[in-house]
Amino acid sequence: MAGELRELGWRVREAVGRTGVLAELGPDCTGDGAPTPLAALRVDMDALPVEERSGLPYASLHQGVMHACGHDIHTTVGLGVARLLAPLASRLSGRVRLLFQPAEETAQGAAWMLADGAMEGVDALFGVHVFPSLPVGTIGVRSGSLTAAAGELEVEVLGEGGHGARPHQSTDAIWIAARVVSGLQEAISRRLDALHPVVVSFGRIEGGQAFNVIADHVRLLGTVRCLDLELHAQLPGWIEDTVQALCVGHGGEARVRYRCIAPPVHNDPALTELVADVATQVLGRERVRWLEQPSLGAEDFAELQRDTPAVMFRLGVAGPEGCPPLHNCAFNPDEGCLAVGIEVLATSLLRWLEQRA
């Protein structure tokens, strides 16, 4: 990415946020020496530990790793925006900064780039994410809450090992872990307000040494999602209490660790209207979809917008036969989305600079 951007004439910094890339275009100062307005576009460029089964001729060459969340699309859109804006460098009334961010899936990359000064001086931030629920050629916009707050949950269930033929002489950590997985879901539906959705999903379970030995230790790794910030702040304590009660009630013990990995993405109303107006002009009104509900997905884009007005929109990627969901091994976005994302974002950045001129 750095090489491509330099060839286009952008000022480039590498190793921002470890493996991130920053690129900037346009005049740093006005005629009287004041800093020019600065709009930024963030695109993420990591992959997932998923074995690709799309059957495409250009499928991942790395076993067990694929672009199952469209970050290759995002990166390509970012480069497309760079190519469109490069010839306009001498005519820009302000600056455009591109943030090619790593490690979104681990919710660490944005914080790394922030610590390396990637957001210094930024007046407005734009972002995009593919959306399999929308057809290619459309975008989805929403003012206010767009994504959920997210946490990472680790539970260690401690029991006592023994012979598989005599479980009554031991404390089966696998059995207790199964109660934790199902018991948390039941507790959510019975103990929390259904009008404030909470999702707890375990994606990894580790435990046991042999087929005929009762396991004395099981480790569960999962994610927690919630739209209500007040409730999200209470969830670590509530989960701790619930898990401890389940484990102790079945004769075991628990260690619970919770890490908040991303606050919610909140779209600035004025920037949302700007993107919607641009997209209406570029695509037509019928191709701009106003989303009624936020997503329980999470985005560390939220870290970058803590002190900066920002907007992220959804890019439709479903072809005539649809598109498998995000993080699916067969995820296959329609590449017709590329031109849509590039044109909407490039025009939005230019429109914002014109308004600030």
Residues 234, 295, single domain; the answer is no
DSSP string covering 114-129:
HHTTTTTT-SEEEEEE
Q: Is the pLDDT of residue 30 over 90?
A: no
Residues 197, 287, single domain; the answer is no
| Pairs from 110-113 (Cβ < 8 Å, separation ≥ 24) | 110/17, 110/42, 110/300, 110/301, 110/302, 110/303, 110/304, 111/300, 111/303, 112/17, 112/18, 112/20, 113/16, 113/17, 113/20, 113/22, 113/304
Look at residues 237, 262, 287 and tell me which one is the last residue of a structural domain.
262
Q: Is the pLDDT of residue 32 over 90?
A: no
Residues 133, 282, single domain; the answer is yes
Residues 37, 138, single domain; the answer is yes
What is each CA distance from 211 to 68, 159, 161, 174, 181, in whole angstroms? Answer: 34, 16, 12, 12, 21
CB of 138 closer than 8 Å to CB of 316 = yes
**Among the listed residues 77, 21, 85, 74, the one whose alpha carbon sits nearest the alpha carbon of residue 351:** 85
CB of 66 closer than 8 Å to CB of 59 = yes
Residue 57 is given by DSSP the state: T
d(CA 75, CA 58): 16
Average pLDDT over residues 198-226: 97
Residue 41, strand partner residues: 98, 126
Look at residues 221, 244, 262 and tell me which one is the last residue of a structural domain.
262
**Could you tell me the CATH number of the domain that includes residue 313?**
3.40.630.10
Residues 217, 167, single domain; the answer is yes
pLDDT digit string (tens) for 145-204? 999 999 999 999 999 999 999 999 999 999 999 999 999 999 999 999 999 999 999 999
Residues 71, 174, single domain; the answer is no
* Contact residues for 282 (Cβ-Cβ < 8 A; gap 6+): 343, 344, 347
Residues 173, 113, single domain; the answer is no
Domain that holds residue 185: 149-262
Residues 159, 110, single domain; the answer is no
Residues 173, 76, single domain; the answer is no
Look at residues 232, 262, 292 and tell me which one is the last residue of a structural domain.
262
Average pLDDT over residues 131-147: 98
3-state DSSP assignment of residue 235 = helix
**Could you tell me the CATH number of the domain that includes residue 249?**
3.30.70.360
pLDDT digit string (tens) for 237-280? 999 999 999 999 999 999 999 999 899 999 999 999 999 999 99
Counting the structural domains of the chain, the total is: 2
Q: What angle do the packed helices 71-85 and 337-356 form, to 10 degrees?
A: 50
318: its two tokens? 């479903």
Residues 116, 198, single domain; the answer is no
d(CA 214, CA 201): 25
pLDDT digit string (tens) for 44-56? 999 999 999 999 9
Q: Which residue, chain included where needed, has tokens 């459309």?
A: 138
Residues 96, 49, single domain; the answer is yes
232: its two tokens? 């999200």
Residues 190, 250, single domain; the answer is yes
Average pLDDT over residues 124-137: 98
Q: Quote the pLDDT of residue 8.
A: 98
